Amino acid sequence: TQLLEQSPQFLSIQEGENLTVYCNSSSVFSSLQWYRQEPGEGPVLLVTVVTGGEVKKLKRLTFQFGDARKDSSLHITAAQPGDTGLYLCAGEGSNYQLIWGAGTKLIIKP
């Protein structure tokens, strides 16, 4: 069974700080996606990484796919209150299904 573990489960930091959240597995994924979900709304796709070692940047957000395509990280530089939300990673498994992590709840305090 393919599983994705996200850490930390919860993170509360001050505006302006940097942070990294992780998405780890013992399984290989053909691609991995990050979504952000705000309270009461549906998740929104932020990025898809496909190649081992790939790094993608989205303004202050940097996403990295592990060399072995088993893990990923999301780094936020100079966090802002608008970054608050639930960050979910999802890996595309061997049967063309998405395996979801449980999420990291991020709160950025002004």
Partner 1 sequence: DSGVTQTPKHLITATGQRVTLRCSPRSGDLSVYWYQQSLDQGLQFLIQYYNGEERAKGNILERFSAQQFPDLHSELNLSSLELGDSALYFCASSPDRVPLEQYFGPGTRLTVT
101 binds partner 1 (CB under 8 A): yes
**Minimum CB distance to partner 1, residue 57 (Å):** 18
Task: Name residues whose C-beta falls within 8 Å of residue 14's C-beta, 6 or more positions apart in sequence.
Answer: 108, 109
40 binds partner 1 (CB under 8 A): yes
Nearest CA-CA partner of 2 in 75, 69, 74: 69
Size of the site for partner 1 (CB under 8 A): 24
63 near 73, Cβ under 8 Å? yes
102 binds partner 1 (CB under 8 A): yes
Residue placing its CB nearer to partner 1 in the complex, 42 or 82: 42
